[in-house]
Amino acid sequence: MTKSQSPHPVAAPAATLSAPSLVSLTPNQGSPSGGTTVTISGGSLTGATAVKFGTVNAASYTVLSSTVISAVSPAGSGTVQVTVTTGSGTSNGLPYTYLAPSLVSLTPNQGSSSGGTTVTISGSSLTGATAVKFGTVNAASYTILSDTVISAVSPAGSGTVQVTVTTGSGTSNALPYTYVAQPTLTSVTPGQGSSAGGTIVTLTGTNLSGATSVKFGATPATSFTVVSASQITATAPAQAAGPVAVTVTTPGGTSNGLTYFYLSAPALTSLSPDQGPVSGGTTVTLTGANLYGASAVSFGGTPATAFTVVSATQITATAPAGTGTVQVTATTAGGTSNGLPYTYLQVPTLTSVTPGQGPSAGGTTITLTGTNLSGATSVKFGATPATSFTVVSASQITATAPPQAAGPVAVTVTTPGGTSNGLTYFYLSAPALTSLSPDQGPVSGGTTVTLTGTNLTGTSAVSFGGTPATAFTVVSATQITATAPAGTGTVQVTATTAGGTSNGLPYGYVPAPTLTGLVPSQGPVSGGTTVTLTGTGLTSTTGVVFGTTPVAFTVVSSTQVTAGAPPGSAGPVSVTVTTAGGTSNSLTYTRVEPPSI
Provide the pLDDT for residue 5.
34
Provide the pLDDT for residue 416.
63
**10 pLDDT higher than 70:** no
pLDDT band at 16 (very low <50, low <70, confident <90, very high): low
The answer to whether the CB of 337 falls within 8 A of the CB of 331 is yes
**Structural domain 432-510, CATH architecture:** Sandwich (2.60)
User: Mean pLDDT in the chain?
Assistant: 92
Angle at 383 between CA 380 and CA 384, to 5 degrees: 60
Q: In the chain, what are the helix, strand and coil shares in percent, each to the nearest 5?
A: 0, 55, 45
pLDDT band at 169 (very low <50, low <70, confident <90, very high): confident
Distances (CA, A) of 485 to 277, 341, 446, 460, 467: 62, 60, 6, 16, 7
Provide the pLDDT for residue 357.
92
Residue 109 burial class via C-beta count within 10 angstroms: exposed 0-12, middle 13-18, buried 19 and up: middle
The answer to whether the CB of 415 falls within 8 A of the CB of 324 is yes
β-pairing, 505-510 vs 440-442, is parallel
349-428 placed in CATH 3.40.30.10: no
**6 pLDDT higher than 80:** no
Residue 101 burial class via C-beta count within 10 angstroms: exposed 0-12, middle 13-18, buried 19 and up: buried
Provide the pLDDT for residue 7.
39
pLDDT band at 33 (very low <50, low <70, confident <90, very high): confident
pLDDT band at 419 (very low <50, low <70, confident <90, very high): confident
E-state strands within 376-512: 378-381, 384-385, 388-393, 396-400, 407-415, 418-419, 423-428, 432-437, 440-442, 448-454, 461-464, 467-468, 471-476, 479-483, 490-497, 500-501, 505-510
Segment 134-157 shows an average pLDDT of 95
Q: What superfamily does domain 267-345 belong to in CATH?
A: Immunoglobulins (2.60.40.10)
Q: Name the least confident of 75-79, 236-240, 326-330, 360-364.
A: 75-79
The widest CA-to-CA distance across the chain, in whole angstroms, is 168
CATH of 102-180, one of 3.30.420.40, 2.60.40.10, 3.40.1190.10, 3.50.30.60: 2.60.40.10
d(CA 455, CA 462): 14
Q: What superfamily does domain 514-592 belong to in CATH?
A: Immunoglobulins (2.60.40.10)
**492 pLDDT higher than 90:** yes
Q: Do domains 267-345 and 432-510 have the same CATH topology?
A: yes
184-263 placed in CATH 2.60.40.10: yes
Residues in the chain, total = 597
pLDDT digits (tens, 9 = 90+) for 72-118: 999 888 899 999 999 999 999 999 998 888 999 999 999 888 899 99
Q: Which fold, 21-98? A: Immunoglobulin-like (2.60.40)
**2 pLDDT higher than 60:** no
Torsion of CA 578, 583, 587, 588, to 10 degrees: 80
**568 pLDDT higher than 70:** yes
> What one-character-per-residue DSSP string does 255-281 give?
PPPEEEEEEPPPEEEEEES-EEETT--
d(CA 500, CA 493): 14
Query: Which range has highest mean pLDDT (359-363, 378-382, 537-541)?
Result: 378-382
Provide the pLDDT for residue 14.
41
Which residues are CB-contacts of 2 (< 8 A; sequence separation ≥ 6)?
Answer: none
Q: Which residues of 248-272 are buried (b: 16+ CB within 10 A; e: fewer)?
A: bbbbbbebebbebbbbbbbbbeebe
Segment 334-352 shows an average pLDDT of 90
Please give the share of the chain, as a percent, with pLDDT higher than 70: 97
- How far is CA 540 from its chain centroid? 57
d(CA 185, CA 204): 6
Distances (CA, A) of 26 to 47, 51, 53: 21, 15, 14
Give me the residues paired with residue 103 across strands. 123
More confident residue, 572 or 2: 572
d(CA 152, CA 137): 12
The answer to whether the CB of 154 falls within 8 A of the CB of 141 is no
